[in-house]
Amino acid sequence: MTPTVASVDNLSGALNDLVDRVPGAEFAVVLSPDGLLLGVSRDVGDELAERLSSLVAGLEAFGLAAARVCLGGGLRQVVVQMSRAFLFTATTRNGAILTVLVGGDAEVGDMAYEVALFVGQADRHLPVHLEAAPTVRSGDVDAHRQRL
């Protein structure tokens, strides 16, 4: 079976579909595990995308720290409830981070379901396969050099 080739246009289309399916969803973005912007839904300008990248990277770090300290297992999603909106972030199997803003009067359960569905199918939409870089220690580098 030949894998489907994904592109940034496919990702933007998938994010637009996600926003269109749920009443009250305002925008969606996907970031790489290190916070680089991979794709955005319509109406997300450069300035907003840059701010979201920084914000989501911080939320992800906060969520990972909470998971470690509380021994709660791996981080699945972070939800920020504000007086007029919810911000959902969820991590895909390969580390990409989906973020969706939903108006406060939207059906939160529907959005949570759609976010989970998108995350489960994210490999069809992402333009690259993402993995965390391996941790390198100085002894590993020396051992690698000796083998060369």
Q: What is the tens place of the pLDDT at every residue in 55-82?
A: 999 999 999 999 999 998 888 889 899 9
Q: Give the model's pLDDT for residue 83.
A: 92
Q: Give the model's pLDDT for residue 84.
A: 93
Sketch the domain layout of the chain as residue ranges.
8-147
Q: What is the tens place of the pLDDT at every residue in 12-66?
A: 888 999 899 888 899 999 998 888 898 899 989 999 999 999 999 999 999 999 9
Q: What is the tens place of the pLDDT at every residue in 75-130?
A: 888 989 999 999 999 988 778 899 999 987 877 888 888 888 888 776 666 655 44
4 CB-near residues (< 8 Å, 6+ apart): 124
Q: What is the largest CA-CA distance in the chain?
A: 61
d(CA 76, CA 3): 26
The answer to whether 38 and 8 are in contact (CB under 8 A) is yes
Domain 8-147: which topology? Beta-Lactamase (3.30.450)
